[in-house]
A and B are shown apart, each in its own frame.
Chain A
Amino acid sequence: MSPQPGTLTLDRRRSSRSNPLASPRMRPFLGFATFLILLETLPRIGIVNPAYFPPFSQILAALAQQVLIVEFWIALGQTLMGWALGLTIAVVGGVVLGLVLGANRWLRDFTHSTIEFLRPIPSVALIPLVVLLFGTSMQSTLVLVVYASIWPIIVQVLYGVQDVDLVARDTARSYRLSWWRQIASVIWPSALPFAMTGFRLAAAIALILEITGELIIGSPGIGQRIAVSQSSGAVANMYALVAVTGVLGVAMNILARRLSRASMHWHSSIRRDEVSR
């Protein structure tokens, strides 16, 4: 999962000086530009039906219009709120549960099969139930988000607690560190990298379920506006909103990566990266 830090690949820069466009640094931009040009030209020359896939410029125009509407920003806020709230509940609940279950070997074995059983249950199976209980309100989606994103955190924290250095733990016990101190200064630091992997996974899953809930249940947010654009035949609008969810996803990935770096600045995997840079 986690990218291997510090793997250097040989990078032959042959003609990079003579032609700046061919330099490896330009490649990502060239690649993205090609992608956008394809999005523009394929519908224009009729390879893709423009009624189903409008050219990029039209999507951009629709997006420019959306940005001027207040409802768009409200919907975006609702999506972000639901995502952040659900993720926070999942993180707090998952970390607490993971630490409690992981701290005791008996408890861990006792709950293992149940966790392995509950985890793969697709949270979307709960959609009909939450619709009956909460209707199309925000709570419906919140339940889905929390249920889906709590598992990676619990499981990762459990792994992390098991990964604690035995000597460190025994030392802490011999020194009779209080229960709280043991967790805060021995168990948590070694579980943190695992918890952060769980957090990155959970953040992405939470966004998927937030948008899904809005799209299928109709709770307020960007997903619901996509459903409305679809049913009213506003195709360019729909693509613009889909692109917005993509941008949201990218921003969130970057944010989660930054956050895990910042919280583990002392950890060897990140320090090694910094040294090799």
Chain B
Amino acid sequence: MRSVSRRVFMAIALPALIFVLWWIVSADSTSFFWPPLQTILGVFPETWFEGRFAVDVLPSLVRLLIGFAAAAAFGIALGLAVGTSKALRDYSEPVLEFMRAIPPPVLIPIIMLFAGIGDTMKIIVIAFGSFWPILLNTVEGVRSIDEVLRDTARTYRIGRGRRFVHLVLRGASPQIMVGARQGLSVAVILMVISEMFAASNGIGFTIVRFQRGFALPEMWTGIILLGSIGVALSIGLQVVERRTLRWYHGLRQSEKAR
């Protein structure tokens, strides 16, 4: 019992302390840039929950999810193909290394040429940017599957389909998850800046509009909202990871305990 309450205390203490400090220090702030936290939180509901949620927040999140899902589907599929074939890996490696090294935000002006500034552009940008970490980690994951396991599967003449599902996909899944995590954080960045670069709605667009209009408390609410979205997405992915990789974490733990 004591250890539980201690853990709760440890988890909450510092965030609470920071919150209180921010509240107190900014309380009589007359500085234009740092409005009191009370003011910021006061305008939060009216800023985001009265209409803007459906108009700006939802479209951003939908674009993010579609783009990320597309990136995951293509990245994993292609990654499995490239990972299983040595020849394909040899051919494609330098091209993939180069494409991965391009900072994804510079794709925005390029994709704008093809797809305008609408939703399609943003979804393609998000998908294209988060595709590379997922692809490369999948390749790496397939490649690093235990040779003994591979040979065992072959020796037992486990059929192609089952070998693919139980050996390749399973074995690569921890690394695929690493890729998905990296891809998701890239996707969030791209969601925001594709809207800052050119858009007519979205969270990033709205925050920049507040900033240009010098609506400082509203701008701060936007920053807080974006931060919470980032945190929520990362928690969501962790939940997914815990479910799908339960066997892996269990394996790791038992190996450690040995």
Given contacts A114-B18, A223-B106, A250-B97, contact A31 B140 (CB under 8 A): no
Instruction: Check B65 for interface membership: any CB of A closer than 8 A.
Output: no
Segment from B38-46, B120-128, B165-173, B203-211 that makes contact with A: B203-211
A90-98, A128-136, A169-177 - interface stretch: A128-136
Query: Nearest chain A CB to B186's CB is how many angstroms away?
Result: 8
Decide: B93 and A28 in contact? CB cutoff 8 A.
yes
Note all chain B residues with C-beta closer than 8 A to A239: 110
What number of A-B contacts does a CB cutoff of 8 Å give? 174
Report whether B103 and A122 are in contact in the complex, using a CB–CB cutoff of 8 Å. Answer: no
Q: Which of B9-28 contact A (CB under 8 A)?
A: 10-15, 18
Q: Judging by beta carbons under 8 Å apart, are A215 and B14 in contact?
A: no
Which listed residue (A27, A133, A211) contacts B105, Cβ 8 A? Answer: A211
Digit string of A213-227 for contact with B (CB within 8 Å is 1, else 0)?
A: 001100000010011
- Complex contact A208–B110 (CB within 8 A): no
Residue-by-residue, is B97-114 near A (CB-CB < 8 Å gives 1, otherwise 0)?
Answer: 111111111111110111
Q: How far is the CA of A207 from the CA of B207 in the complex (A)?
A: 24
Would A113 and B103 count as touching, CB distance under 8 A?
A: no
Asked if A132 meets B113 with Cβ closer than 8 Å, knowing A122-B226, A208-B189, the reply is: no
Decide yes or no whether A3 CB sits under 8 A from chain B: yes
The docked-state distance in angstroms from the alpha carbon of A113 to that of B192 is 25
Bound CA–CA A246/B210 (angstroms): 33
Q: Does B72 reach chain A (CB closer than 8 Å)? A: no
A75 located at the interface, meaning its Cβ lies under 8 Å from any Cβ of chain B in the complex: no
B202 located at the interface, meaning its Cβ lies under 8 Å from any Cβ of chain A in the complex: no
- Which residues of B, 101-158, contact A by the 8 Å Cβ criterion? 101-110, 112-114, 137, 140, 143-144, 147
Contact of A110 among B13, B33, B207 (CB under 8 A): B13
Q: Classify chain B: how many residues form its interface, as a range.
A: 35 or more
B227 at the interface (CB under 8 A from A): yes
Q: Is A157 an interface residue (CB 8 A)?
A: no
Contact A246 B98 (CB under 8 A): yes
Given contacts A28-B91, A52-B113, A226-B106, contact A246 B99 (CB under 8 A): yes
Interface-located stretch among B48-56, B73-81, B228-236, B244-252:
B228-236
Interface string of B186-208 (1 = CB under 8 A from A): 10110011001100000010011
Residues of B within 8 A of A127 (CB): 192-193, 196, 207-208
Cβ–Cβ < 8 Å partners of A31 in chain B: 90-95
Contact A126 B97, beta carbon cutoff 8 Å:
no
B87 CB-CB contact with A under 8 Å: yes
Q: With an 8 A cutoff between CB atoms, is A65 at the interface?
A: no
A28-B93, A212-B103, A246-B98 given as contacts; is B10 within 8 A of A121 (CB)? no
Query: Which residues of the partner chain B approach A238 to less than 8 Å between Cβ atoms?
Result: 109-110
A111 is an interface residue with CB less than 8 A from chain B:
yes
Report chain A residues within 8 Å CB of B15: 113-114, 117
**B66 adjacent to chain A (CB < 8 Å):** no
* Cβ contact within 8 Å between B106 and A242: yes
Number of A interface residues in the complex (CB < 8 A): 64
B258 within 8 A of A: no
B105 and A212 contacting across the interface, CB-CB below 8 Å = yes
A40 to B216, CA, bound (A): 49
Q: Does B33 lie within 8 Å of A133, measured CB to CB?
A: yes
A residues within 8 A CB of B109? 215, 226-227, 229-230, 238
Complex contact A245–B102 (CB within 8 A) = yes
Q: Write out, one digit per residue, whether chain A residues 20-61 have a CB within 8 A of any chain B CB (1) or not (0).
A: 000010011111101100000000000001001100000000
In the assembled complex, how far is the CB of residue B161 from the closest CB belonging to chain A, in whole angstroms?
Answer: 23
B242 shortest CB reach to chain A, Å: 14
Chain B: minimal CB distance from A19 (Å): 14
Question: B140 touching A3 by the CB < 8 A rule?
Answer: yes
Residues from chain B with Cβ under 8 Å of A227 in the complex = 109
Tell me if A4 counts as interface (CB < 8 A to partner B): yes
Measured CA separation A11–B85 after assembly (Å): 11
Report A35 CB to chain B, min CB distance, Å. Answer: 5
- B interface residues (Cβ-Cβ under 8 A, vs A): 7, 10-15, 18, 33, 86-87, 90-95, 97-110, 112-114, 137, 140, 143-144, 147, 178, 185-186, 188-189, 192-193, 196-197, 204, 207-208, 210-211, 216, 219-220, 222-223, 226-227, 230-231, 233-234
21 interchain pairs (CB within 8 A)? A1-B140, A3-B140, A9-B143, A24-B87, A121-B226, A121-B230, A125-B223, A127-B193, A127-B207, A129-B220, A132-B219, A212-B103, A215-B109, A223-B105, A226-B106, A238-B109, A238-B110, A245-B106, A248-B101, A250-B98, A253-B97
Q: Which residues of A contact B (CB under 8 A)?
A: 1, 3-4, 7, 9, 11, 24, 27-32, 34-35, 49, 52-53, 109-114, 117, 119-129, 131-133, 207-208, 210-212, 215-216, 223, 226-227, 229-230, 235, 238-239, 241-242, 245-250, 252-253
Closest 5 CB pairs of A and B: A249-B101, A27-B90, A31-B91, A128-B211, A230-B109
